[in-house]
Each structure stands twice: as structure tokens, then as C-alpha cells.
Amino acid sequence: MDRLLSPKQVALAIGSSESSLKRWCDQGLLNTVRTAGGHRRIPVQEALRFVRERNLEVAEPLLLAMVPSTERKARRIENAAGQFVDALIADNEHACRALIMEHFQSGVSASRICDEIIAPAFHTLGEKWECHEVEIYEERSSCLTTLRLLNELREKLVPPTSSRFAMGATLEGDHYSIPATMAEIVLRSTGWNTRLLGCSIPAASLISAIEQHQPAVFWLSVSHITDTSRVVSEINQIFEVALKHRTAVVVGGRALSSEIRSKLRYSAFCDTMQHLAEFSTTLQQHAAAANPASPA
Ligand code: B12
């Protein structure tokens, strides 16, 4: 069960009055649930959404399960990837969390956090590993820390109310879980009900998953390819089945060179998580226009 807050608690957290809070709830600016006794309650993720979208200064961050903010100056996104990689190598999980969460709280989208903080930090980590400046254990432990933080970020998103379902994975032999997890979070942040199946899954099993669950979107993150013709054939088989179930196949990942892409069938290719967010928003808008009665 998500943590629920009273209008008074949220008012205290953002330095506002309880009556303003109740008015905003009644105007639908904040989604509420009612207790058995009929009192308004605000899910903590909903309060966080409200704060992020309005870029509000929060007086009592702990009340909203937020990390306390540093000065806005110290929070510049251009510096964040460098700060993040330093904190990862220093095994300072607390600093890593503060960086990610502060940007998120201040309204930076999950997709920008992925593209502009985490991905470049890992590109730097890869360069440092190549130059023997970081050990393999440091890289592996950085991956684990980042996956924990991505899961925390997922928990901070307003739970999806949409019935539209997206599923994704990586193909057998591809162990890159960070981009696959990012894609899930980005789709979730744009309102999709999502399920990340996992990494290194045989194509036949992914095909069964599509047949059984018939998601509207199936994403594949492709970061490592050992046998190009096998991967091309597997993706094309997945697309063939997806087509029958009206599932859009969205592919992305560092291993998908333009030469490989030219041999593939897919519904959309995205270079970045921000492209994925834009594609996903467009799909949601089409669905809402086609079926105005159902929740987008
Ligand atoms: C961490 C890491 C690993 C870890 C991953 C662990 C994990 N749990 O994920 C492990 C240990 C598995 C690993 C193994 C290997 N690795 Co490695 N790895 C990396 C490293 C440091 C970071 C990768 C990463 O997660 N990046 C962060 C992601 C988010 O960034 P990204 O891939 O650019 O993704 C962005 C876009 O592509 C896009 N995107 C990605 N996926 C998707 C999906 C969708 C749907 C969409 C829309 C968008 C999208 O959005 C992302 C965000 O902007 C890279 C360095 C680098 N430059 O990336 C090396 C790197 C990729 N690895 C490398 C190598 C050589 C290997 C191994 C072959 C080593 C070996 N000899 O065994 C193996 C192969 C593993 C396998 N079979 O899968 C080389 C590849 C060199 C090359 N020329 O291709 C690199 C570049 C390191 C280097 N500098 O040499 N690795």
C-alpha cells in the first residue's frame, strides 16, 4: 500500500495552508483517495508529482520522503554526470541518491536523468575501465548501486492508472540491465503500466510473453550482440508475432548500428530515453483520441 498523507501533512511539507491544500484537492489539482470516514488522503507519489510540476520549494522534505535539497546552483544538470561517476567510484551511495533524487524532485524528467546523468556517467566509467583507472569490481558495484536507485525512482512515480500495458527485456546473451530498466521507468513515467521481464531471455520465451499478455508496446534494449544474424532473425520473428497482436515493437541500444537496423523490422527505433518518452506520449495521445471514454 502506498503511503498516504493528510492535506495538513502536505501543507506543512510545502509551507502552505491546510485550507489551500483542501481546495486544490477539490479542484482536482491533486488526486486524493478517501478514508472509510470520508477524509481526503494524498498518496505520497501524488504529492511529489505536484511539487515537481510546480517546482515548489519544500520546507519539510522528509515528510514527503524527499531528500533535502542543496542549493539550486549546486544542482546544475550539466555537472551531474561527473558528480555521479565520482560518487559511484567512491562508493558513496548517499551522494548518488541525493544527486538523482534532487534533480527528479526539482522537475527534471526521468528520461533526462537517464540520458544526461546516468548514461554519460557510465560512458565515463567504461573509458576509465579501458584505461585501467577503475577496477572491474568498481564497475560492477556501480551497476548495482544504479539499479537500486533506478528502482527507488520507479517507486517515486505515480502508480499507473492506465490499462495500456508495455513489456520489455533484453535478448539472450545481453546482460545490460541498466538501459532495459531505464526504458521501463521512462514508459512508466509517461503513464504506462509496465513489466520489465529481465535480461538475457531467449527469443522463444519473449514470443510466448507477447502471445500471452498482448502488450500494446514491447521494448527491446540491445546493448551487446555476439551473433548478428541470430539477433536480426530473433528480432524479426518477435516483430512478426507482435504484428499479429497489434503490439508496437520499440528498439534501442548501443549495439543497434545503422547497418544492423537496416536489416530489422520494428515499429520504432529510439536513440535515447527522451525519444522513448516522446514516442510513448504520442502513442498515449493517439489512444486517448481513438477512445475518449477510457483512461489514457
Ligand atoms: C556496465 C557495463 C557492463 C556490465 C553491464 C552490467 C549490467 N547489469 O548492466 C557487464 C559486466 C554485463 C558488461 C559486460 C561486457 N562488456 Co560492458 N560495459 C559496461 C559499461 C561500463 C556501461 C554500460 C551501460 O550500462 N551504460 C549505460 C547505458 C544506459 O547507456 P547506453 O548503453 O548508451 O544507453 C543509452 C542509449 O543507447 C539508449 N538506449 C539503450 N537501450 C535502449 C532501449 C530502448 C528501448 C531505447 C528507447 C533506448 C535505449 O538510451 C540509453 C540512455 O541514454 C559500458 C561503457 C559504455 N560506453 O556504455 C561497457 C562496454 C559497453 N562494455 C564493453 C565490453 C567489451 C563488454 C564485454 C564484451 C566484456 C567481456 N569481454 O566480457 C561484456 C559483454 C557482456 C554481455 N554479453 O552482455 C565495451 C564495448 C566495446 C565495443 N566496442 O562494443 C564497453 C563500451 C566498455 C569499453 N569502453 O570498452 N559490461
CB 96 within 8 A of CB 84: yes
The answer to whether position 206 is within a domain reads yes
Neighbour count for residue 98 (Cβ, 10 Å): 18
Ligand 1 atom 63 nearest Cα = 126
Question: Cβ contacts of residue 294 below 8 Å, gap of 6+?
Answer: 163
Atom of ligand 1 nearest to the CA of 222: 41
Residues with CB under 6 A from ligand 1: 114-115, 119, 122-123, 125-127, 130, 139, 143, 173-179, 182-183, 219, 221, 223-224, 250-254, 270, 272-273, 276
Q: Please tell me the predicted confidence (pLDDT) of residue 271.
A: 96
Mutation choice for ligand 1 from 84, 85, 122, CB with most ligand atoms inside 8 A: 122
Mark whether 171 and 284 lie in a shared domain: yes
Question: Cβ contacts of residue 194 below 8 Å, gap of 6+?
Answer: 160, 165, 166, 167, 168, 184, 187, 188
The answer to whether position 295 is within a domain reads no
Q: Please tell me the predicted confidence (pLDDT) of residue 70.
A: 66
Sheet holding 248-252, edge to edge: 193-201, 165-171, 217-221, 248-252, 268-269
The answer to whether position 296 is within a domain reads no
CB 191 within 8 A of CB 158: no
The answer to whether position 215 is within a domain reads yes
Mark whether 52 and 80 lie in a shared domain: no
Mark whether 76 and 59 lie in a shared domain: no
Number of structural domains (the chain) is 3
Mean pLDDT, consecutive 10-residue stretches, the chain (296 aa), reads 86 90 92 91 92 86 78 75 96 95 92 98 96 94 98 92 90 98 96 96 98 97 97 98 97 97 96 96 81 60
* C-alpha to C-alpha distance for 46 and 158, rounded to whole angstroms: 6
Mark whether 169 and 276 lie in a shared domain: yes
Of 156, 184, 216, the last residue of a domain is 156
Task: Name the residue range of residue 115's domain.
Answer: 72-156
**Rounded to 5°, angle at Cα 277 from 13 and 157:** 30
Mutation choice for ligand 1 from 254, 271, 276, CB with most ligand atoms inside 8 A: 254
If residue 219 lies in a helix (H) or strand (E), which one and from where to where? Answer: strand 217-221
Cα-to-centroid distance, 211 and ligand 1 (Å): 29
Q: Please tell me the predicted confidence (pLDDT) of residue 218.
A: 98
Q: Please tell me the predicted confidence (pLDDT) of residue 296.
A: 46
Looking up residue 80, the CATH number of its domain turns out to be 1.10.1240.10
Give 235-266 as a DSSP string: HHHHHHHHHHTTPEEEEE-TT--HHHHTT---
Looking up residue 278, the CATH number of its domain turns out to be 3.40.50.280
Mark whether 149 and 261 lie in a shared domain: no
CA separation (Å) from 182 to 47, 166, 168, 207, 279?
23, 13, 11, 22, 15
CA separation (Å) from 130 to 124, 125, 126, 146, 178?
10, 9, 6, 20, 19
* C-alpha to C-alpha distance for 134 and 16, rounded to whole angstroms: 47
Mark whether 276 and 201 lie in a shared domain: yes
Mark whether 191 and 260 lie in a shared domain: yes
Atom of ligand 1 nearest to the CA of 269: 47
* C-alpha to C-alpha distance for 181 and 176, rounded to whole angstroms: 9
Mark whether 265 and 176 lie in a shared domain: yes
If residue 95 lies in a helix (H) or strand (E), which one and from where to where? Answer: helix 93-105
Query: pTM (2 decimals)?
Result: 0.91
Q: Please tell me the predicted confidence (pLDDT) of residue 294.
A: 58
Looking up residue 44, the CATH number of its domain turns out to be 1.10.1660.10
Neighbour count for residue 121 (Cβ, 10 Å): 24
Mark whether 220 and 283 lie in a shared domain: yes
CA separation (Å) from 154 to 45, 109, 194, 202?
10, 12, 11, 26
* C-alpha to C-alpha distance for 258 and 269, rounded to whole angstroms: 10
| Pairing, β 268-269 against β 33-34 | unpaired
